[in-house]
Amino acid sequence: MKSSILSSDLHFHSVYSDGSSTLKEIFEQAAKRSVGAIALTDHDTVLGIPEEVQLSTQYGIDIITGIELTAKEEGLKFHVLGYGIDHLSQELINYSKSVLGEEWQKNLKQIKLMQANGIEIDEQSFIEAGQGGPLYRAKFLGVLAKYGYIKEEDVMNLIPTYFGSNAPYYMPDDYDYLSFEEVAKLIKRNGGQVVLAHPGKIKKKNEGLYHELIGQTALDGLELYHPSNGLDVRQELLGICQSRDLLITGGSDYHGLYNKKGTPLFGETLPQFVYEEMKHLIYQKNR
């Protein structure tokens, strides 16, 4: 492998899904560093990308349009990244709104439960705290921290207490997620490249499914550089990418305050060749 230098971050999240940082805050951080390109990959939504495009022009930082879609196989949810997607596609916009709507229906029920249990935060304050995205569990607790019900530093530790399977605000995720094949077709129909996100996480939960997925012919790439991928997984993925001529991608998977591993933005150092092999996907703002 070529020597590693900080060149890009191709996997991070904002307030449009389960991150705590606004896109403006993210671009302000990126402007202070020498980066080749960045890619917002919010969960199941492209609704933040128009703002990303605007900020890209404002700050002079290249972007690759992206999304991290949830798929489900054998009862296990996992993620698939789509890079270079047409974020103005009505199909992707409709899908994003569908997931957002389902999440907010669940969120509104959880808000009512909290209010019934003495948490005096009005519904509108919760909605405003979403800043364009739904209230994923950590984000929900971020609102409670903002209003003094819990400490900010306890947000991630308290997720099981508030939203674990036997916790007072637990609600099952009943959304009808797509299979890997369906997700891959959705990405390709909308001009994107299909990349399996953080394969090491899948391997820990279901090794058989991991091997099945990394062998899929629909893949255009594998996310090798991710905080959760151990050295053994990275070496295995590198061999697969080289033998099949797949894209090698990576990123910090930054979530701001809601990072389980605490990895900062640009916290996963990528080799220069990752940027070089992905730069053909850089969004052309004049198209």
pLDDT 10s per residue in the chain (287 long)?
344 444 799 999 999 999 999 999 999 999 998 788 999 999 999 999 999 999 999 999 999 999 999 999 999 999 999 999 999 999 999 999 999 999 999 999 999 999 999 999 999 999 998 898 999 999 999 999 999 999 999 999 999 999 999 999 999 988 899 999 999 999 999 999 999 999 999 999 999 999 999 999 999 999 999 999 999 999 999 999 999 999 999 999 999 999 877 889 999 989 989 999 999 999 987 54
Q: What is the pLDDT of residue 219?
A: 98
216 lies in some domain? no
At residue 48, the pLDDT reads 97
Task: Confirm whether 59 is domain-assigned.
Answer: no
pTM: 0.95
> Is residue 159 assigned to a domain?
yes
The pLDDT assigned to 287 comes to 46
Instruction: Give the pLDDT confidence score for residue 99 in this predicted structure.
Output: 94
Residue 140, domain member (yes or no): yes
Q: Is residue 132, in this structure, part of any structural domain at all?
A: yes
- Count structural domains, the chain: 1
**136: in domain:** yes
Residue 129 is predicted with a pLDDT of 87
Residue 22 domain-assigned (yes or no): no
Q: Which domain holds residue 156?
A: 106-163
Structural domain contains residue 87: no
For every residue of the chain, which 3-state class applies, written as one string?
Answer: CCCECCCEEEEECCCCCCCCCCHHHHHHHHHCCCCCEEEECCECCCCCHHHHHHHHHHHCCCECCEEEEEEEECCEEEEEEEECCCCCCHHHHHHHHHHHHHHHHHHHHHHHHHHHCCCCCCHHHHHHHHCCCCCCHHHHHHHHHHCCCCCHHHCCCCHHHHHCCCCCCCCCCCCCCECHHHHHHHHHHCCCEEEECCHHHHHHHCHHHHHHHHCCCCCCEEEEECCCCCHHHHHHHHHHHHHHCCEEEECCCECHHHCCCCCCCCCCCCEHHHHHHHHHHCCCCCC
